[in-house]
Amino acid sequence: MDVRTEIREFLRSRRARITPEEAGLPAYGGNRRVKGLRREEVALLAGVSVDYYVRMERGALAGTSEGVLDALASALRLDDAERDHLFHLARECGPPSSRRRRKPTATVRPALQQVLDAITNAAALIRNDRRDVLAMNQLGRALYSPVLAGPRRPANTARFLYLNSDAARAFFVDYDQITCNAAASLRLEAGRNPHDEELIALVGELSTCSELSGSSGRPGMCGCTGTGPSSSGPARLGLRVHGSAHRPWPALECLHDILAGIGR
């Protein structure tokens, strides 16, 4: 998804969830064709012209001042993660000099990969706090093949949960609980590292997709309200045995920041 499309879908989804009554505006007419606020109503609340807001919603955030972005965030009642994502999108629209330099993807040292490879009777993986998969053993790569099926690298388990929910629901036995835990842990990490550009982009992407696809029945990023994982222990995977019934299968996950020798 390009930046202009992401901006358009993000802003549209945010104004669609607010009614005029909630925004303190009169709702004229009984047959509103627009779900939520109209563009002119958002412009009024943000203190900008209708034409200016229309350009912003079409993806033209380059050069938008912080004051206007703050006003827009207030008008759309964005939470902290969503506000950070809005500012992130505005920076992505600007010239390269305005974009924050992203940290290189964390990798594991060969010695840790050897430790994983030595585990032959269980699936094992190492991930970071953004839920990027940094390393796996052979059984882990086999069992997590649905997570690795997408082209994006590093593979991300939270992105798999939200953007490929049908496959994820078949893959994880405790799908609803795992999805809420993932959302809560990402919010917790956002509080610890509020300037992590990769994390801001990920949370914004998943929040937008969960809003746009709210009818799918999966817990949305905005629907799971915890600020940390509500349960611990290995994830249970639903594996088909001899082509028929499923049985739970544990998988070992290790966080990179508790293992020595992992580079950030």
Residue 213: what pLDDT? Answer: 42
* Residue keyed to tokens 């809003």: 211
User: Which of the residues in the chain have pLDDT under 50?
Assistant: 98-99, 212-220, 222-223, 225-233, 240-249, 258, 260-264
pLDDT at 183: 83
149, 166 Cβ separation under 8 angstroms: no
Q: Where are the alpha helices (DSSP H) in the chain?
A: 3-16, 39-46, 50-57, 66-75, 80-93, 110-118, 138-143, 157-163, 165-171, 175-192, 197-212
CA 101 – CA 197 distance, rounded (Å): 8
The full set of domain ranges for the chain reads 3-98, 110-258
What is the dotted CATH code of the domain comprising 3-98? 1.10.260
Render the burial of 187-219: b for 16+ CB within 10 Å, e for the rest.
Answer: bebbeeeeebbbbbbbbbbbbbbbbeeeeeebb
Task: Provide the pLDDT for residue 95.
Answer: 65
pLDDT for res 241:
42
CA–CA separation, 56 and 48 (whole Å)? 11
Q: How far apart are CA 114 and CA 111, in angstroms?
A: 5
pLDDT value at position 43? 93
